[in-house]
Chains A and B, each alone.
Chain A
Amino acid sequence: MKTFNISHRTHNGLEVLELQGELDAHTASRLEETLKELIRSNKGRIIVNFSELEYIASAGLGVFMAYIEDVRSTGGDIKLTNMNDKVYNVFDLLGFPTLYDIFPDESEAVEKFFDDNP
């Protein structure tokens, strides 16, 4: 079985989740738990860095669909960064780029958070 890992760090008051491995219907619950925990702790300014994520299925995208409204309603956001082409393609096929901030690099997401809400 392929692995999936999440590491969490804080950067200038922003929560950064780094995803690694394969995110599918089996591993999506772990991402969901992590996001729920951040929302419960009122940590709604979230960046998800996909640089080490090799694969994503729609169950993984579903987690971002289910929680984005909760996060935005408290003034936060989930911004997505550093996707490889194959992972980006799945987000693109499902129309995410019009509704989510997706950046090539994490630093651009950091900048956007501080531009929008310094």
Chain B
Amino acid sequence: MKAFSYHKIIKASTEHLSEVREFVSMHAGLHGFNDKEIADIRLAVDEACTNIIKHAYKYDPSKEIGIVITVDDEKFMIVITDQGEPFDKKKYQKPSLKKQIAQKKRGGMGVHLMRKLMDEVRYSKTDNLNTLCMCKNRIES
């Protein structure tokens, strides 16, 4: 099976989010994913990068985020890496909108959205590197 791969590195600043969205949308479109799938991928990647900028790097724009797309006949896979504070899966709780509103809190919605939008979401951590891998399956596969 033939696979295509595309890379991008951005500085960890929210001003680069639109650039990341365009990068993933363009490749998903060129590889035949439909509008709904492109919208899902675009939002999931935006949420992932936003979380890294905010939580892993605490808005330090000198840090970097790596993005690698691999596309084949079955799926669109995005691997996003950073070297910041790792995401603590154990502390994560599915957010309750009602509670958040009552407490005037925002946020905590990104991970929940990523899991709803993508077919697979996996985190891993090695010494210094956090890796998030997300996949969107092709409907026809």
Contacts and interface: CB of A to CB of B under 8 A. Distances in A.
Given A55-B21, A99-B98, A66 B105 contact: yes
Interface stretch (A11-19, A86-94, A108-116): A86-94
Interface of A: 1-2, 22, 24-26, 55, 57-59, 61-63, 65-70, 86, 89-90, 93-96, 99
A62 to B, nearest CB: 3
Nearest to B36: A86
A24 B18 contact: yes
Lowest 6 CB-CB distances: which A-B pairs, in order? A62-B106, A26-B14, A58-B109, A2-B18, A25-B50, A25-B14
B46 interface: yes
Contacts of A67: 104
Interface stretch (B110-118, B123-131, B133-141): B110-118
Interface in B89-126: 97-98, 100-102, 104-107, 109-110, 112-113, 116-117
Given A26-B15, A99-B98, A62 B107 contact: yes
Contacts of B116: 93
Interface of B: 14-15, 17-19, 21, 36, 39, 42-43, 46-47, 50, 53-54, 97-98, 100-102, 104-107, 109-110, 112-113, 116-117
Given A26-B15, A95-B97, A57 B47 contact: yes
A95 B19 CA distance: 28
A93 B15 contact: no
A57 B100 contact: no
Contact of A26 (B17, B102, B112, B117): B17
